[in-house]
Structure 1
Amino acid sequence: MTPHTTHAPPAATPFDGAATFGTPLRQPDTGSPRIMTGRAWWLVVLNLVIPGSAQVLAGNRRLGRFGLGATLLLWTLLVIALVLWFAARAFLLTMATNIIVLWAVQLLALAYAVLWLVLTVDALRLARIVRAAPGARPLIAGFTVLSLLVTVGGAAYLGYLTGVGRDAIASLFGDGHIAEPVDGRYNIMLLGGDAGPDRLGLRPDSISLVSVDAETGASTLIGIPRNLYNAPFSDDSPLWGPFPTGYDCGDDCLISYLYMYGEEHPDLYPDAADRGSTPGVEAMRDAVEGVTGLTVQYAVLIDMQGFAQLVDALGGVTIDVATPLQLGVNGQPAIGVIEAGRQHMDGATALWYARSRYNTTDFDRMERQRQVQEAILAQADPANVLSKFQAVASAGVQVVKTDIPQPMLGRFVELAQKSREQPVTELDLVPPTIDNVMPDFDVAHSLVADAVAPREQEQ
């Protein structure tokens, strides 16, 4: 007679036993820790991968079918978004910046957070981990908590970020006019408003025009000195009447002073508010059009006093400083210095770097301001902005004013992505090329036309 040998059952492992589906998930052998351990792992993993499947296999089939339907809907929406990203990116980005769509996305995200919470808690109940092997119980419970963080936490955070973005868009961008490109280009005026406590009113400390090819995204950045005289106006401008030969009323007629002139004469631009603009911005728009010969569709005003908040929100900026820069105002003692070399600056330092007037010219400041602008663009990559989204959005609302309407955001976001892949053409209308006191605007127009002319793309 062959002696009978008893073998110990193998140790329970994830997906063992019940994973064969030989033992039904719905009616398992509850007396077997090995089978119940495998069953528990299957249910909690399936709940994470295909929400609703755990209930269909082992619980309330009606709840499971609802969960599976919601999962299928989510997958379908993601596939549609992926297809649109490659086939109709401008349309997708326009939808993604639409207030109503963002409301829907936020509500949908919160609904999925609630649904996944219910499904995950129910899947843990169905798993009956008290019947599983003692060593597996904390692992299964820990995996379930991790699932809650990934699904419920992720959906809730997406809903929160969507709400922040929606509020920022609603605050920054209105329902203004939708402009078509002129000669194949969008031209956007950038003004750095300098309205500190030591200044009477606001005078743009930085004046630039960004001209973007509407198809390729190729960009030209045109710098205009704030101390430019005799800015001309077209005969259909409200400023043609008082200044038919240009803004030539003496030392008080620098181009930057036109902002305050517009604000002091709002009757010249009675429809400015309806356009999401101000009389001061409209006066600057007419002047920039006269100087460059380009049509300006939109304007962006950046409050330099709050500029530091935006830089800090982005985590600072890195700039190559060519020579040591003393900080301060001409006629007063220097208050500090920024050493030469590669410097990572916080908001306050970057603001001083852009604005310092100590032993420096306006044209030097223009160059430094451009460096800061380029450093911000380099820092504002999607991953960095997303990781600091709340701070960036909050700073943007306080710092930026614009008449760009919400329906144009998708198009401009797409163009911005294309622009990042190409070098920026730079043109400064400064001495010796353009004399700021006795400027030759025919030469300026010619230089601008050459700078914005289409460039052959590298193969």
Structure 2
Amino acid sequence: MASRSAARPASEEEEDAEGTAPRTRGLLRALGLTLASTLVWGVAHLRVGRRWAGALLLGLFLALAAAGTVAGLFFRSDLLQLAVRPDWLTGLAAGILTLGLLWITVVIRSYQIVRPETMSLGARSAGVAGVILLCFAVALPTAWAGYSTYLYRDALTSIFRTGDSHGRPINIKDPWNGQRRVNVLLLGGDAAANREGVRTDSMTVASIDTKTGDTVLLSLPRNLERVPMPQGPARDRFPYGFTGDGPATPGLLNEVYQYAEDHPDVVPGARKNERGPELLKATISGILGIPVDYYVLVDMFGFADIIDAIGGVKIKITQPISYGLEGGVLQPGDRTLSGKEALWYGRSRTNSDDYTRMGRQKCLLRAIARQADPRTVLTSFDRLAAATKRAIATDIPQELLPAFITLSNRFNDGGQVTSLQFVPPLIYTGNPDFALIRRLAAQAVATSPESASPSASPSPSASASRSTSPQAGRTPGATSSKQPTRQTKPVSLDATCP
């Protein structure tokens, strides 16, 4: 009796083991089919004979995949233009979230139709855990994509406002209103904690050909003196050129921005934080003899945050550069600079001068543009969006962003960048020859080789500018510094960067 009694539990264990194996295989099969349906919709439905539902899901999945592939391969430029339209971004974010919810529904329903009818509590728990894991695998990337799209739209609408700031109509079919060139003033603002206001220590006009995307960079030094002011209250106050606002401001070009902010009467009708850009745009337009359409201001300290967000910037340093108050030195060589180091690389004047610094700033901007690849941007998108909102101000309207994207595409198809810096010995900043500056600017942006040559006569527009703008800073008997002919042509930006 005892032997039979002892043998009975053993036989029951064998029966349980024989029943558990099929149930385990059934659970693994169900999870495998659910995984397959997660990767390709409709697999589970087709496997259990639900042909119409399976075919519908599979067709929808293939249609979405094909549409994404075709758009990425053949309509990339159109996608880039849509990517700067807030209304489309709102729809895209909603579409991504809807897709995520639909995908999760497919995952759950696929498991429901293929799971075994009878399972132990442990098997049911394992099945539910597997489905939850698959749902998370779908939900996390779609939620991240939707959130990133929202962040991008928020940054876009924060930086770029709707409508032209001057009330000019924007024709979508001809956004440049027939202009041969669009001129954008690029400003680097130094709003340090130990100084009041903003000093625009970097001032460059990017003159862009609206047909080809070819760009000429016209750089003005921060210490240009007695610059002629635009007609109106500003010229009435400074008829012989800008002379500053007392002993603390000697009257340099980089002080015009903050002077306008502190003196609303020189830019009547402009609001706070718009007075500085408006007066500086008009002033630089008069200096160069070309219209300045828009501006972009980058705060240097916010700029450091942007560099940190993309993981630093790689650049070649040719000679030691002192930085910081602790006596730090950026050593020569191929280096990856942090935001703080890059800021000092672009700002340091120790054992150097303003003009060398201007050249380093342009090389730094070019290095960042080359290294901010899509992978880097995507992996640090939230930090980059937040830093960009803090660092950038502009009056470029949202409606023009697609047109600027088109110009960028044309430039990438073979456009060229040339640079002309109005620095010594070409221009003496203490007593500038503004007529020469306007003549060289007109030559630099000319399209024909004949008009771009140093011996060419000034264009009519340049002559008109000279006749209407006062020769600020010129004293009786003063002579212009002699300009070497070989330096009057714009040079390639690549030639100045190691």
Per the normalisation by structure 1, the TM-score is 0.77
2: distance between equivalents of 1:419 and 1:430?
A: 27
Q: Given the alignment of the two structures, is residue 199 of structure 1 paired with residue 195 of structure 2, yes or no? A: yes
CA contact (8 A) 2:212 2:415 kept: no
Out of 393, 417, 429, the position equivalent to 1:424 is: 417
Given residue 411 of structure 2, which amino acid in structure 1 is its aligned partner?
A: S
Per-residue deviation at 1:122? Answer: 1.9
Given residue 425 of structure 1, which amino acid in structure 2 is its aligned partner?
A: T
CA contact (8 A) 2:176 2:210 kept: no
Aligned match of 1:6? none
2: distance between equivalents of 1:286 and 1:255?
A: 12
Aligned match of 1:247? 242
Per-residue deviation at 1:68? Answer: 5.5
Pairwise mapping of residues 356-375 of structure 1 onto structure 2 (< 5 A)? 356-375=348-367
Aligned match of 1:121? 108
Q: CA RMSD in A?
A: 3.7
Given residue 442 of structure 2, which amino acid in structure 1 is its aligned partner?
A: A
CA contact (8 A) 1:430 1:436 kept: yes
Given residue 174 of structure 1, which amino acid in structure 2 is its aligned partner?
A: R
Aligned match of 1:136? none
Per-residue deviation at 1:346? Answer: 0.2
Given residue 74 of structure 1, which amino acid in structure 2 is its aligned partner?
A: L
Query: CA 1:449–1:182 in structure 2 vs 1: closer, same or farther (change >3 Å)?
Result: farther
Aligned match of 2:216? 220
2: distance between equivalents of 1:54 and 1:214?
A: 54
Q: Given the alignment of the two structures, is residue 48 of structure 1 paired with residue 35 of structure 2, yes or no? A: no
Cα-to-partner distance string for 1:270-306 (whole Å, 9 max, x where unaligned):
4444xx9610111111111112222222111111122
**Residue 305 of structure 1: SS of its match in structure 2?**
helix
Per-residue deviation at 1:422? Answer: 4.1
Aligned match of 2:226? 230
Aligned match of 1:15? none
2: distance between equivalents of 1:269 and 1:65?
A: 67
Cα-to-partner distance string for 1:189-247 (whole Å, 9 max, x where unaligned):
11111121221221112111112222322222221101001323454x65333334432
Q: Given the alignment of the two structures, is residue 447 of structure 1 paired with residue 440 of structure 2, yes or no? A: yes
**Residue 301 of structure 2: SS of its match in structure 1?**
coil
CA contact (8 A) 2:233 2:265 kept: no
CA contact (8 A) 1:37 1:129 kept: no
1: distance between equivalents of 2:128 and 2:211?
A: 53
**Residue 75 of structure 2: SS of its match in structure 1?**
helix
2: distance between equivalents of 1:348 and 1:417?
A: 32
Per-residue deviation at 1:37? Answer: 7.9
Aligned match of 2:159? 172
Given residue 349 of structure 1, which amino acid in structure 2 is its aligned partner?
A: E
Cα-to-partner distance string for 1:96-133 (whole Å, 9 max, x where unaligned):
2222221111111111111111111222333337999x
**Residue 427 of structure 2: SS of its match in structure 1?**
coil
Query: CA 1:56–1:373 in structure 2 vs 1: closer, same or farther (change >3 Å)?
Result: same
Once the two structures are overlaid, the 10-residue window that deviates more, 179-188 or 223-232, is: 179-188
2: distance between equivalents of 1:118 and 1:145?
A: 12
Per-residue deviation at 1:373? Answer: 1.5
2: distance between equivalents of 1:270 and 1:57?
A: 74
Q: Given the alignment of the two structures, is residue 433 of structure 1 paired with residue 426 of structure 2, yes or no? A: yes
Given residue 345 of structure 1, which amino acid in structure 2 is its aligned partner?
A: L
2: distance between equivalents of 1:212 and 1:57?
A: 59
CA contact (8 A) 1:186 1:211 kept: yes
Out of 316, 327, 333, the position equivalent to 1:335 is: 327
Per-residue deviation at 1:75? Answer: 4.6
1: distance between equivalents of 2:23 and 2:333?
A: 70
CA contact (8 A) 1:228 1:436 kept: yes
Out of 63, 71, 85, the position equivalent to 2:75 is: 85
Aligned match of 1:299? 295
Out of 74, 98, 102, the position equivalent to 2:64 is: 74
Given residue 75 of structure 2, which amino acid in structure 1 is its aligned partner?
A: W
1: distance between equivalents of 2:343 and 2:253?
A: 22
Per-residue deviation at 1:374? Answer: 1.6
1: distance between equivalents of 2:241 and 2:302?
A: 33
Aligned match of 1:260? 258
Out of 162, 169, 186, the position equivalent to 1:190 is: 186
2: distance between equivalents of 1:414 and 1:455?
A: 23
Query: CA 1:393–1:40 in structure 2 vs 1: closer, same or farther (change >3 Å)?
Result: closer
CA contact (8 A) 1:182 1:295 kept: no
2: distance between equivalents of 1:193 and 1:398?
A: 12
Per-residue deviation at 1:252? Answer: 2.3
Per-residue deviation at 1:326? Answer: 1.8
Query: CA 1:257–1:80 in structure 2 vs 1: closer, same or farther (change >3 Å)?
Result: same
Q: How many residues align?
A: 411
Given residue 104 of structure 1, which amino acid in structure 2 is its aligned partner?
A: G
Query: CA 1:35–1:117 in structure 2 vs 1: closer, same or farther (change >3 Å)?
Result: closer
CA contact (8 A) 1:33 1:131 kept: no
2: distance between equivalents of 1:343 and 1:299?
A: 31
Cα-to-partner distance string for 1:32-52 (whole Å, 9 max, x where unaligned):
999998897566435522x24
Aligned match of 1:24? none
Query: Percent same amino acid at aligned positions?
Result: 35
1: distance between equivalents of 2:157 and 2:23?
A: 59
Q: Gaps spanning 5+ residues in structure 1: where?
A: 1-30, 133-139
CA contact (8 A) 1:165 1:393 kept: yes
Aligned match of 1:162? 149
CA contact (8 A) 2:100 2:142 kept: yes
Per the normalisation by structure 2, the TM-score is 0.72
Q: Gaps spanning 5+ residues in structure 2: where?
A: 1-21, 120-126, 165-169, 450-498
